[in-house]
Structure 1
């Protein structure tokens, strides 16, 4: 996959995958005029390209011929916070959690739709250029004012417990990003609660009952089964 979009003003996307069929698919999927496309076929080439190219986002396969993709993530995270979206055939929850806990921003299981891939790329690109979270997060009938610590649903202010608000704030400041159970538990409750996922489930349930029109069919706080949660982001 050559540099098909050399315009320096376009976001640089580094695709790391050794399968020719996937390379062609991604070339077609990303041929929207929005991106400058670049390729690396193995882990060592990806690490070198990450340094030389300084991409705006990386699409990374885990099954590379020379090293596991998780190791690529780990090495990149030693010096860079470039957004990384994993594209992998691995469907096991443990694989997803490991990649996300290591530092991936998102995880898509092959096969996936072009529209979903483009949406995920736009989310990580938008989030990466923000120096700080927007002071007011608004989507549909939900408004979260981070400055005033105020949550409004369908025009009415909602009273949250301090823990519920901290949980919602964490999701808001990472809107569109999958947060694993471990990441959330560590941030909100501390390492002592890492093996107590029921604490998180109870608080997510309580929060949904306060902000969702139908807590059994949530529109805002989305579950990534076996992995964690994602706050919806319509960018």
Structure 2
């Protein structure tokens, strides 16, 4: 299943931006605008990571962090407009795992989130990769989409593994060929196209269409 992330942000525009960014990256997302609502979501949603602003109405994000640490060790990433060194220091002392200031770089935020999730849940991150409601099970060699699964060959799994590891970016055909066939001197470029075509047929059989996009003269992207 996708990792669950709770966004705690009082600004509705930023809150929606974060929700869209995370949902588009394959995460399950819920949001809260203040500390009481966040504590309620912690119980009902049980997130695996929290994005937390400092400047919240009522109780501050630092106070909320201390409350969360009273019952949970879930990774906490502060995303705040505060540039004060004292706030960053307090976030660490109170149990925060990362500190980013606004305006944040979306790519850096996603990278920090992925790194924290891998560290906090190593078994899950190694065995299953997730992107937009689609799960790649590495141990069983199967792809799952909304409860339906399809078995993959070794090469099909390697192609999807590479695409999942570079999700959201264009993967050059040459890089895929090198990864798939371990830099062998000569491999017919058409072989990659054949494999991708077979993968697409399997994805279509479980209701997943247009998952792998072809970028003309560039490569593939999911």
TM range (shorter): 0.5 to 0.7
1:47 aligns to 2:45 (yes or no): no
Residue of 87, 94, 100 corresponding to 1:95: 87
The normalised TM-score by structure 2 is 0.53
Matched-pair contact (CA < 8 Å) for 2:19–2:30: no
1:122 aligns to 2:118 (yes or no): no
Task: Specify whether residues 33 and 92 from structure 1 end up closer, same or farther in structure 2 by C-alpha distance, changes over 3 A only.
Answer: closer
Matching residue of 1:80:
72
1:108 aligns to 2:88 (yes or no): no
Residue of 14, 30, 34 corresponding to 1:38: 30
Alpha-carbon offset, residue 33 of structure 1: 4.3
Q: How far apart, CA to CA, are the structure 2 residues paired with 1:127 and 1:97?
A: 22
Please give the residue correspondences for 1:220-231 in structure 2 after superposition, counting only pairs within 5 Å. Answer: none
Q: How far apart, CA to CA, are the structure 1 residues paired with 2:85 and 2:9?
A: 21
Corresponding residue SS for 2:29: strand
Alpha-carbon offset, residue 27 of structure 1: 2.4
Alpha-carbon offset, residue 40 of structure 1: 0.7
Corresponding residue SS for 1:30: helix
CA offsets per residue over residues 141-170 of structure 1, 9 Å max, x none?
xxxxxxxxxxxxxxxxxxxxxxxxxxxxxx
Q: How far apart, CA to CA, are the structure 2 residues paired with 1:28 and 1:50?
A: 20
Alpha-carbon offset, residue 113 of structure 1: 0.8
Q: How far apart, CA to CA, are the structure 2 residues paired with 1:106 and 1:33?
A: 19
Matching residue of 2:164:
none
The normalised TM-score by structure 1 is 0.51
Q: 5+ residue gaps in structure 1? A: 1-8, 132-235
Corresponding residue SS for 2:23: coil
Matching residue of 1:70:
62
Q: How far apart, CA to CA, are the structure 2 residues paired with 1:102 and 1:33?
A: 28
Corresponding residue SS for 1:97: helix
Matching residue of 1:212:
none
Matching residue of 2:10:
18
Tell me how large the CA RMSD over aligned residues is.
1.2
